[in-house]
Amino acid sequence: MSITRQFLLSLLLVILVGGGWLLYQRPAFVFGESEQAGDATRPAGPAAAGGGPGGASGARPGGFGQVLVVTTAVGTDDSATEVRAIGTAAAARSVTIYPQVAGIVTAIAFSPGASVAQGTVLVELDSADQQVALDRANVALDAARETLDRSERLEKTGNITASVLSDARKAVRQAEIDVRMAELDLAKRTLRAPFDGVIGLTDITVGDLVTSQTAIATVADMSSVTVAFDVPERVVGKIAVGEPVDAMAAALPGATFTGAISAIDNRIDPATRTMRVEATLPNEAADLKPGMTVTTDLNVPGETRPAVPSLAIQWDRNGSFVWKMGGDTVHRVGVQIVARRSGTVTVAGDLRPGDEVVVEGVLRLREGISVVRSGESGAAPEAAPEESAPEAVSGSDAAPLAAPREAARAREAG
């Protein structure tokens, strides 16, 4: 290839690039003002006088002189944050029965797995010695009371001193204390249910020697269960006692239990950055058993924030932003993305519900430029200039303008 041809190709490439840049940067100048200059010989009509949609520049709305955009209204998003955690079910009240004293088991009055009422006798220990001690204390109390009666009668006749009467009264009080002590020792030989519930299995039998370290059985109140689980630090300030909680158990597929938060811990675990929360679930049918694995769902109320389509979000070196409509002009508004969900982006920024943001045509936007919304009356394409030109020309100028059209019609007719 010769040097001259290379030079010409390079010059042509430079002209094409320069023309494209000029077309992008100054569309109104290239296609508006040039048309006006070329039509200077025509009589001034409404469009040439600036009365048309394009104004004095000759640019038509929706054409090269203005940017055609699609807008949408800003919505709101107050969706809650769902916190799912796994916990372990525990009875609302549960206690393991231990004897207070050592002794031989003489009777077992319950069946494992049965319901027991508060005060029901569960186990009895050998109490022969304690019964004898109670009888002896009652005899001593009777004797002390008889002595006090004689002393009070003698005191009325003046045949006894005040100190003797005082000693008799002290002896009665001491005997009463001895009787109560004997009764307590005897009562410790009988184990009773502390509250209504269900009693579990036991390993003891009649004749076993038990001590205060021997576990008899466990009584659990199954009317409700509690589930302790951990919630992340970010929702700590948004939960409160009484908020609803849904729970599902792996052992009971398809069943959902609805309860409420009953207790919140007062500290955050520095290792896991979570806080312990306890929920109470109703369990009238006793379907939930202590120790079951339970999955909890807690919906934390969210803060109402603006929401825009994901197409409206743009990026530059300063971060994310949207183009907000202000009348017929656009303005750049910086936003911070909070959450994304199904084509909608929740943001934080200077946006209000009902504001218009641009979702299509964003690539040609600049701060403060005028735009035309899609669907407006001025945005529709106008008729071709050749169709309206005959109304604005006359005389010798009409023939040159009409000749090409007549030739075109003749070709179509032929």
Report pLDDT digits (tens) over 51-104: 333 333 333 444 445 789 999 999 988 766 778 899 999 998 999 999 999 999
Break the chain into its structural domains and give their ranges: 3-66+378-394, 69-77+304-369, 80-121+195-301, 127-188
Question: What whole-number distance in Å separates Cα of residue 176 and Cα of residue 142?
Answer: 9
Element (H, E) at 405: helix 398-413
CA distances from 50 to 55, 56, 60, 231, 380 (A): 4, 4, 11, 67, 18
**pLDDT for 389 beyond 70:** no
Instruction: Supply the pLDDT for residue 149.
Output: 92
pLDDT surpassing 50 at residue 409: no
Residue carrying structure tokens 């971060």: 319
304 band by pLDDT with thresholds 50, 70 and 90: confident
Which tokens sit at 40? 């200077």
Q: Place 4 in a pLDDT band, splitting at 50, 70 and 90.
A: confident
Between CA 177 and CA 336 the distance in angstroms is 78
> Average pLDDT of 134-148?
94
Give dist(CA 97, CA 192) in Å, integer. 9
What architecture is domain 127-188? Answer: Orthogonal Bundle (1.10)
Q: Which residues pair with 296 in a beta bridge?
A: 85, 247
Mean pLDDT of the chain: 80
Q: Give the pLDDT band of residue 25 (cuts 50, 70, 90).
A: low
Mean pLDDT of 184-207: 93
Q: Which comes out higher in pLDDT, residue 249 or 32?
A: 249
Of these ranges, 48-62, 123-137, 286-300, the one predicted with the greatest mean pLDDT is 123-137
pLDDT above 90 for 11: no
DSSP secondary structure letter of residue 54: T
Confidence bin at 12 (pLDDT 50/70/90): confident
**Of the ranges 82-96, 266-280, 295-309, 385-399, which one carries the lowest mean pLDDT score?**
385-399
Which CATH number among 2.40.37.10, 2.40.420.20, 3.40.309.10, 1.20.1050.10 corresponds to the domain 69-77+304-369? 2.40.420.20
For the cut 70, the answer to whether the pLDDT of residue 335 exceeds it is yes
Superfamily for the 80-121+195-301 domain: Efflux pump adaptor protein, beta barrel domain (2.40.30.170)
pLDDT above 70: residue 28? no
Top-confidence residue, 157 or 394: 157
Amino acid 33: pLDDT: 41
Dihedral pair phi/psi, residue 372, rounded to 5°: -120, 130
Cα 378 to the center of its chain, rounded Å: 46
| pLDDT over 60 at 370, yes or no | yes
Per residue in 219-247, pLDDT tens? Answer: 999 889 999 999 988 888 888 899 999 99
Quick one: pLDDT band at residue 294, thresholds 50, 70, 90? Answer: very high
> Is the predicted pLDDT of residue 199 greater than 70, yes or no?
yes
